[in-house]
Structure formats: structure tokens, C-alpha cells
């Protein structure tokens, strides 16, 4: 569709502030429709994961709590009552958390049906319980679960519905879903997608565009690609964690005719729409975890259906100002009643245990200590992508532990030489998938130096790690199998297998009853020292 608004040439997320100013000055849309226009309201989420309850918003001075599925549902209902022609989409990653695991993913699909979603794209975490479970679950819900670039290996047979058409009050929207090739291969449990061919998203979208374009008024693409999301509750407040949406920008430029693209996977919150400079595609994404609801309202020419103007923003889910939706509350209570063991108190935490993505953290240190203690290994390494939720201060229930560590891969012990450990740590210092959390090591590094040259010193039990020394290192199996770009582990030897990190953590709380803050100061970044940064464990 030809747009009637001007293009913007500056799209880099490094220039997001300048872009926001330019958009506000020259492109701010109006939500008031006249006889010549049709108003269309698009709501969207991404990376909902196990975010069922509100979280403390300690980084904001205007809101006490953010998120909560029941509160988000109320916000969506309010907008449906006040805004015209409302459509609701999601860009994937709904399968995580204790209840999700126990229900094979049925729980979130049940909630999304109640919330009235029109369509969603498949994310990498939809494969957490294997492709067969996803195949079953996606076919039992009332809305299409889309992926245009997934095919059963060696065939042209789609794994999922490629696209759909949704019509409301005479407005017809074509919706296409895709997943990034990297997200579908390096951000899943090894083997989860081996039976599938993941094709180029641009080629897949183009094929769907050719089938849809003349039959619809708008084309919306739901993507799940780019950098992995930073697993940190207050990520929006940490400028180091700001993810770009370069892959979404490039994809929107590779296929002509995409009107709107809603992204996922990176949790790269866009406070206002980003405009692709060649095609004019409007691109947005939330910070994930259900803390914000994406909102994009379009004014279409009543005759040509061209986009005349728009207004896009992220609406905070201000939990204390939203009455929880009673249907969601009742369904949550019913599911929890089916699994009463989840509410068992297994211990207490003396303080809130927060996760950090680019830094050492209290929670990461504790989990690494637990893995090392349980396995008898010399060292433990925990990747931040496995830490999905903070642990609250006070009573800790099993559900708290399993929402923090929801994955099913066990902790394994690997035999690793000193030179291999150095290479593993250098990969960690790239921060591509966050900073490994450690136990049994004292680490000094310098992120101002070039990648692969950042290690300054590495000690185990007070002695420098030497190239020929051999260590037993406990890690989640997904990392031992080379995920998150830790290919160095593929050349190491597996010695033994333990339980999952969630099971080990539950046993640790039961044993110790009250868990204090773990020892900190294990990893030191000289670049941060020079900048005067204060460690935020």
C-alpha cells in the first residue's frame, strides 16, 4: 500500500531519541476520524512468557507496579470499549513458567483465548516442550498461530498456518507470522527444531504478500527475530540493554507492501513507531513480560485505504490502577488448584534476589553456587538467559523457583581445560547473550578492549587458571550443547548429569530454610571501574 505520510531516513535505534523528536514534530497522527477516514486500532504484545503477576516497578517514580495478565486484560477491554476497530496481536514467546510447563503450554493459550487475540506468531520458546506439543496446542485454540517460514524438513509442507485474513467492520487485515533463523536454531533446546527447515523470512513473507495484497486493506507482519531479550526486570531503565530492531528494519525494507510490523524476541521497546525509510513500514515492539501494551492507531483513507496518519505508543500496565479481570483471575485460580504443590513454601529469602543481564547479580551468584554445590564441580557457570524471573524477599514457593528456572534441561558437569575455559569466558565478555554468572572463579575483565581480548585475570581457588589445567564445570545442558553461541563447550567432555536447575534450587531452599544473599564481587569490569559505575548485584 502506498503511504501518504513522508518517510524518515534516520532509523538506527542509536538515534531513537532524535527519531522520536522528529516523529513527534512531523508525523504525530490524530485519532479523530472524519467522513473521509476509517480509524483502525492495533494492540500488540510480545514475549509474555511467565509474567502472570504484577512486578514492583522500583525503577519508576510514578508507578508502583507494572504488568499482570488480569490487569492487562482489563486494559485491553477498556480500549475495546473506547477505541474503534480494535485488533489484538502477539509476536511470540508464551511458553515459559511453572504452570505453562505443567500444562504443556495450554495455560497461556487459554488466557489468550479469553483475552480475544486475533493472531500470534510462533516464538522460539514455543518449542520448549518439543515440536509435537506445539503442533497439538496451536491447533486447539480459537485464533491462528502463524509461521510462514517453517516447513517439515525436506518438504514444502508448512509446520504452521502461514498467514490469515481478519475482517472487522469492513476492514480486512492480512497477518503474516515469521521467526528468525537464528532464534529458531540457537535460542532453542538443541534438537527442538531439527525436524524443520527454517527458511529466509523475507522470501516467505513475499510469497504470502503475493497471495494477500489484493485481498486486504492492510498487511501486518508479526516477527520473532534479532538479538535475544535481556533477562532483567528493569531492562527499560538500563541504556546498556537497549536492543536495536535492525533486523526488523531490514526485513521491512526487503519486502515492499508491509504496512505494519510488530516484532518480538529482543524486547526492544519502541516508545513511538519507527518508520522504515524506503518502504514506510511502521515498526513497533514492547519490552515484553506484559508490562506495556503496544498501541498503534491508524487513520485510513475511506476510499483508497491508504494510511493518512497514525499515533503509536506503549501504554504502561499500571497494575494498581486496573481492576484485575475476574475471568482471568478465576482461570488462574482453577489452574493453580489443579497443582497445589506449586504453592508449597520451600524456604525464605532474606532479600529480594534480582537478576542482571550484563552484570554479576545476587540471583545469578546464588544459582551458580547451587549448581556447583549440588554437583561437586570445581566451577559452575549459569547463562543469564535461563534466569527468567526474580525471587521475592520472604517466603519462597515452588512456583517462584520454577518460574525463575522453568527449563527442562539438566545441569551437566563437563571436563574443561584451562584454555577452553578462557575461550568460554571471552565469549561471555562479548555480552552477546549476557554475562555468565559464576561460582568458583574470581574474574577481572575489561569491556573497553576488543572482543576476545577482554580477560585480564582468571583465578580458581586463589590460583591462576592455566591452559593445561583441567576443571569440572557445571552448566545447563543447553549451554553444554553449544547454545547461545558457546560453541567452545562442544569440544569438552561430559562427565555426569544432575537434575534441572529448578529442581536443584527447590532442594537447596528446603535444605537451608532461610537463604541469605550470596557472596558478591566475583566479577570485575575495569571499564566500569574507570567510569565510576556502582555494581548492582
Mean pLDDT by 10 residues, the chain (537 residues): 44 39 37 76 94 93 97 98 98 92 94 97 95 94 97 97 97 98 88 95 97 96 93 89 93 96 96 97 97 98 96 98 98 94 96 95 98 98 94 95 92 98 98 96 98 98 97 97 93 98 97 96 96 64
Alpha carbon 526 to its chain centroid, in Å, reads 29
Mapping DSSP onto H, E and C, the string for 106-163 reads HHHHHHHHHHCCCEEECCHHHHCCCHHHHHHHHCCCCCCEECCCEEECCCCCECCECE
DSSP percent split of the chain into helix, strand, coil, nearest 5: 30, 25, 40
Maximum C-alpha span of the chain: 77
- Taking the C-alpha atoms of residue 462 and residue 291, their distance in angstroms, rounded to an integer, is 43
Strand partners, 525: 445
Give the pLDDT score at 15.
41
Give the pLDDT score at 301.
96
- Taking the C-alpha atoms of residue 107 and residue 14, their distance in angstroms, rounded to an integer, is 38
- Answer yes or no: are the C-beta atoms of 181 and 222 closer than 8 Å: no
- Answer yes or no: are the C-beta atoms of 139 and 164 closer than 8 Å: no
Mapping DSSP onto H, E and C, the string for 296-327 reads EEEEEECCCCCEEEEEEEEEECEHHHCCCCHH
Give the pLDDT score at 50.
72
215: how many CB neighbours lie within 10 A of its CB? 9
At 418, phi and psi to the nearest 5?
-60, -40
Q: Cell numbers at residue 159, please? A: 509446520
- Cβ-in-10-Å burial (0-12, 13-18, 19+) of 134 comes to buried
Element (H, E) at 429: helix 418-429
DSSP 8-state class, residue 243: P
Give the pLDDT score at 436.
98
3-state SS class at 221: strand
**By C-alpha distance, which of 265, 269, 268, 218 is closest to 42?**
218
CB-based contacts of 445-452 (< 8 A; 24+ apart in sequence):
445/523, 445/524, 445/525, 445/526, 446/525, 446/526, 446/527, 447/525, 447/527, 447/528, 448/526, 448/527, 448/530, 451/426, 452/426
- Taking the C-alpha atoms of residue 513 and residue 396, their distance in angstroms, rounded to an integer, is 10
Supply the pTM of this predicted model.
0.85
Strand-strand pairing, 196-198 and 150-152: antiparallel
Residue in this structure with the C-alpha cell 497477518, named with its chain if needed: 175
Amino acid at each position: 500500500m502506498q503511504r501518504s505520510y513522508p518517510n524518515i531516513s534516520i532509523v538506527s535505534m542509536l538515534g531513537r531519541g532524535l527519531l522520536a523528536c522528529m516523529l513527534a514534530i512531523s508525523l504525530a497522527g490524530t485519532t479523530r476520524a472524519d467522513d473521509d477516514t476509517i480509524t483502525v486500532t492495533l494492540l500488540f504484545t510480545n514475549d509474555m512468557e511467565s509474567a502472570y503477576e504484577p512486578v514492583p516497578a522500583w525503577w519508576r517514580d510514578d508507578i508502583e507496579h507494572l504488568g499482570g495478565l488480569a490487569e492487562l486484560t482489563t486494559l485491553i477491554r477498556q480500549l475495546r470499549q473506547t477505541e474503534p476497530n480494535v485488533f489484538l496481536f502477539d509476536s511470540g514467546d508464551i511458553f515459559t513458567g511453572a504452570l505453562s510447563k505443567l500444562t504443556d503450554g495450554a495455560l497461556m493459550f487459554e488466557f489468550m483465548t479469553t483475552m480475544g487475540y486475533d493472531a500470534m506468531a510462533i516464538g522460539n520458546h514455543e518449542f520448549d516442550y518439543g515440536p509435537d506439543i506445539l503442533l497439538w496446542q496451536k491447533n486447539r485454540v480459537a485464533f491462528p498461530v502463524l509461521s510462514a517460514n517453517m516447513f517439515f524438513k525436506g518438504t514444502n509442507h508448512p509446520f504452521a498456518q502461514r498467514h490469515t485474513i481478519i475482517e472487522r467492520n469492513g476492514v480486512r487485515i492480512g497477518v503474516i507470522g515469521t521467526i528468525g533463523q537464528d532464534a529458531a536454531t540457537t535460542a532453542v533446546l538443541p534438537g527442538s527444531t531439527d525436524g524443520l527447515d527454517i527458511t529466509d523470512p523475507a522470501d516467505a513473507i513475499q510469497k504470502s504478500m503475493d497471495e494477500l495484497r489484493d485481498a486486504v486493506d492492510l498487511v501486518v507482519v508479526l516477527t520473532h527475530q534479532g538479538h535475544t531479550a535481556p533477562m532483567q526486570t528493569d531492562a527499560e531503565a538500563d541504556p546498556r540493554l537497549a536492543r536495536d530492531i535492525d533486523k526488523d528494519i531490514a526485513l521491512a525494507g526487503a519486502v515492499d507492501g508491509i504496512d505494519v510490523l510488530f516484532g518480538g524476541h529482543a524486547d526492544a521497546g519502541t516508545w513511538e513507531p519507527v518508520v522504515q525509510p524506503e518502504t514506510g513500514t511502521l515498526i513497533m515492539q514492547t519490552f515484553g513480560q506484559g508490562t506495556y501494551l503496544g498501541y498503534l492507531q491508524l487513520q485510513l483513507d475511506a476510499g483508497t485505504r491508504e494510511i493518512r496518519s497514525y499515533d503509536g505508543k506503549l501504554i504502561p500496565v499500571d497494575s494498581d490502577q486496573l481492576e484485575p479481570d475476574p475471568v482471568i483471575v478465576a482461570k488462574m485460580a482453577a489452574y493453580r488448584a489443579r497443582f497445589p504443590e506449586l504453592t508449597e513454601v520451600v524456604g525464605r529469602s532474606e532479600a529480594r534476589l534480582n537478576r542482571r543481564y550484563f552484570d554479576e547479580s545476587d540471583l545469578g551468584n546464588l544459582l551458580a553456587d547451587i549448581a556447583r554445590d549440588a554437583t561437586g564441580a570445581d566451577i559452575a557457570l549459569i547463562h543469564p538467559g535461563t534466569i527468567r524471573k526474580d525471587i521475592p524477599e520472604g517466603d519462597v514457593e515452588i512456583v517462584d523457583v520454577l518460574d525463575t528456572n522453568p527449563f527442562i534441561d539438566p545441569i551437566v558437569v563437563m571436563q574443561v581445560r584451562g584454555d577452553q575455559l578462557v575461550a568460554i569466558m571471552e565469549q561471555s565478555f562479548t555480552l552477546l547473550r549476557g554475562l555468565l554468572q559464576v561460582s568458583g572463579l574470581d574474574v577481572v575483565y575489561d569491556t573497553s578492549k576488543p572482543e576476545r581480548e577482554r580477560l585480564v585475570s582468571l583465578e580458581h581457588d586463589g590460583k591462576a587458571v592455566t591452559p593445561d589445567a583441567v576443571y569440572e564445570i557445571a552448566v545447563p545442558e543447553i549451554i553444554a550443547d553449544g547454545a547461545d553461541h558457546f560453541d567452545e563447550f562442544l569440544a569438552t567432555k561430559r562427565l555426569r548429569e544432575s537434575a534441572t536447575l529448578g529442581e536443584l534450587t527447590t532442594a537447596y531452599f528446603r535444605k537451608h530454610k532461610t537463604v541469605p544473599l550470596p557472596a558478591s564481587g566475583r566479577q570485575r569490569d575495569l571499564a566500569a571501574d574507570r567510569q565510576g559505575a556502582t555494581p548492582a548485584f
